[in-house]
Amino acid sequence: MMIKAINTTAVVKRVLIGSVAAVTLYGSIGLAIARPTVGLVLGGGGARGFAHIGVLEVLREQRIPVDCVAGTSMGGLVTGVMAVGLSPEEMLSEIGKADWRDMFKDTPVTSEINPQKRYISRRFIPGTEMGITKDGTEPLPGVLEGQKIKLFFNKLVRSQYGSPQIENLPLPVSIISTDLVTGDKVVFREGSVTKAMRASMSVPGLMAPYPDGDRLLVDGGLVDNVPIDEVRARCNPDVVIAVNVGSPLMKAKDIAGIFSVAGQMVNILTEQNVVKSLATLKQSDIYIKPDLDGISAGDFMRSADAAKRGRAAAEAVLPQLQALRVDDAQYSSWLAKMTPVRGQLPVIDAVEIAGLKQTNPKYVDKYLRGYEGAPLDIDRVDQDLGLVYGTEAYSTVDYALIASRDKNILRITPLEKSFGPDFLRFGFNIDSATNGPSTYNLRVAYDKTWLNSLGGEWITGVQLGNNPAVFTELYQPLDTDQRFFVQSKLSYQRLPFEIYQNNKAIAEYKIDQFSADLMGGFNVGLWGPVSAGWIWRQRGANLETGDPALGSGDKNFGGFAAQLYFDQFDRLYAPMNGWMAKGAYFNNAADNYSKAELDLRAAHSAGSYVFLGRLYGAGSPTGTLPFYDAVSLGGFLNLSGFARGQIVGDSLLFGQLRAEKIVGELPLGLRGDMRVGLALEAGKVNGRYTETELNGWQSSVAAYVGGETPIGVVYIGYGDSPNGVSNIYIFLGTP
């Protein structure tokens, strides 16, 4: 049954009985009067759990001490943070400042990803890889691993002063989780506070289970969302204050699609155990259920609103709560016990990297230098661990500050991916235009990582579709810092190519290209690689349609090549901020020409607007670019009013300005947004082999809608030019 109020007379009677007991025990009426003990229960409910903070505000204002607390999911988070001494005001401030949208996106900022992994991520859909183990293939355990969430928990509990343990807290604490393997309830009464918080909040399907020995721990709401029995077992309180913030069951009209069905199933399981828990409430207990209508479990940006509603719910039962008040002296004594004394930050004596089996500890250590002899800077730790996570070798990277033998040890615990170290990666693209060739391809690759202690990687795969391809690539670092490397590539690909004149395709070719590259180079920090070596190409042009007089033929060529690829964008495909610089030089001494390219791009955001620019130039410093290795313009956002590769010549200049308006964001946990955009473009091709009548600069305008999604980039666009052709473009997937 649900008890919304307590019997005041009964509580007063219990207080009087306790007072008599205290007098009898101590023999003096002048000694402190015993008070009813209070157990606090904070239920789970996702973002609705921020209402707990409002309840805590009222308890503090009314001078109501708590003798033990048990929490589940978000209630477990608030439980842990309360027990380490944060006031409700501090909680609300810290939670309000947090960027929850970013926190639920494990994907690192692109500029912080290891350059080699960044190169692979652009070709394959991030987050779709499958691990290859001795037992077969294994999919990702959840949409996100909870990397940023766990580090945020560390900040909340002030881990820079030492990683708090439940058994050392001034208040008996229980945090509830569920063993996904057995279905058993798991109660944390000892161990790391943040570990318990993270395990209790692992919503199945959204967040990967938290590994704990042989157990896989998930959201405690599946078995005990309002843990009343646990708080009774913890301290046998006279009065239980139970706060229920669970989500109601969805109406029939709201259940549509697999995600809503799955969500409703979880809600049913949760509601069943909540009903059983509430039935154990006694007449003297206090039940608080805030009105959270309109606030969903995923509304993490509405913490202040939820807290306000929690406060209102607590104030609605204020007469019952006031029966639990104590005098100022008693409450001050309790509060002093709850408030930790924090002095100077501890100085780090040593850094320890623990738990690695497959990867080289030095691969982690390179990001963690300069800690010894200085106070722990938690913001720097978060930043550096983000870089370690950006290597994509680990599911999570955590830390703990441990006092051992009069030394402060910063223990770093990278958790190697359980579903690796080898992976199947997937990519696809649909690239269609009303004028010009369209392509439809599926890409699958086997990625074998950590071939050796230096982090060697071999990836080989196939592309199926109307542009079939096979490829194999070996990347071998030459030092543990992975500054220097050698790289070899072999590939075959069939490409479409059309020849245009007067805005009409007069011939269509299929180009069969064989490639071989052998390069060596170095990474300029996280900017990207600079490399040089030898490349070789064989291109066979087979005429499909058009005048037979145009002919077909093969061409072999090769020579010295140098490249740089600096990428400091914050996202792979639809950046908000940052820049990119690509440069390439090729010298073909046999055919007496060289080729140079420079592509500069930048992005800057202001509120919901993003402004982007591009400058691109290419040509031959010596000689003339032959037709088989010429440069071209045309295609979406590459002089959009012309078909892809429509204007081919010896050299080119191209400039572009774009403005985008963000019109929608993807659901919590998914990186990306949707935008409407406008592009103004101008380009000039000299020494033209096609479209020989197009003299001077050509202008183009493009309008589009799209953005970055979990399956890559999506765009629908329209391009037009006074001298070109109108074109409608559709793109979906990875380049």
User: Active-site positions?
Assistant: 73, 219
Task: Of 11, 90, 123, give the one whose Cα is nearest residue 733.
Answer: 123
Report the alpha-carbon distance of residue 41 to residue 60 in Å, rounded.
16
Q: What is the DSSP letter of 726?
A: -
Structure tokens, 658 = 């774009």
Give the number of other Cβ atoms within 10 Å of residue 564's Cβ.
Answer: 18
CA 253 – CA 610 distance, rounded (Å): 37
* The three-state (H, E, C) secondary structure of 577-617, written as one string: CEEEEEEEEEEECCCCEEEEEEEEEEEEEECCEEEEEEEEE
Cα 573 from Cα 731, distance rounded (Å): 12
Q: How far apart are CA 168 and CA 190, in angstroms?
A: 8
Take residue 506 and report the two structure tokens written for it. 């007069």
Q: Which backbone phi and psi does 265 adopt, to 5 degrees?
A: -60, -45
Phi and psi at residue 636, to the nearest 5°: -60, 125
Contacts of 136 (CB under 8 A, 6+ apart): none
Residue 344 in tokens: 């100077």
At CA 78, angle to CA 73 and CA 84, rounded to 5? 130
504: β partners = 501
Only one residue has tokens 């479990």, namely 297
How many residues in the chain?
A: 735
Which residues are CB-neighbours of 186 under 8 A, at least 6 positions away? 176, 177, 178, 179, 199, 212, 215, 217, 220
Max Cα–Cα distance, the chain, nearest Å: 118
Residue in the block written with tokens 């030092």 = 479
CA 238/CA 257 separation, integer angstroms: 46
Backbone angles phi, psi at 544, to 5 degrees: -95, -50
Count other C-beta atoms under 10 Å from residue 139's C-beta.
Answer: 11
Q: What is the rounded CA–CA span in Å between residue 16 and residue 21? A: 9
- Of 414, 437, 421, 422, residue with least CA distance to 505: 437
Q: Which of 360, 393, 383 is nearest to 117 (CA)?
A: 393
With contact defined as beta carbons under 8 Å apart, do 347 and 408 qualify?
yes
Question: Which residues are 726's β-sheet partners?
Answer: none
Sequence-distant (≥ 6) Cβ neighbours of residue 188 within 8 angstroms? 166, 173, 174, 175, 176, 177, 195, 196, 199, 200
**Which residue has tokens 């001795």?**
134
Residue with tokens 């309830």: 185
Token duo for residue 644: 């892809």
What b-and-e string marks burial along 294-308, b requiring 16 or more CB atoms within 10 Å of the CB? Answer: ebebbbbebbebbbb
One DSSP character per residue, 210-261 reads EEETTEEEEEGGGT-SS-HHHHHHHH--SEEEEE--PPPPPPGGG--SHHHH
Which three-class secondary structure state does DSSP give residue 19? helix
Instruction: Give the distance from CA 334 to its chain's centroid.
Output: 40
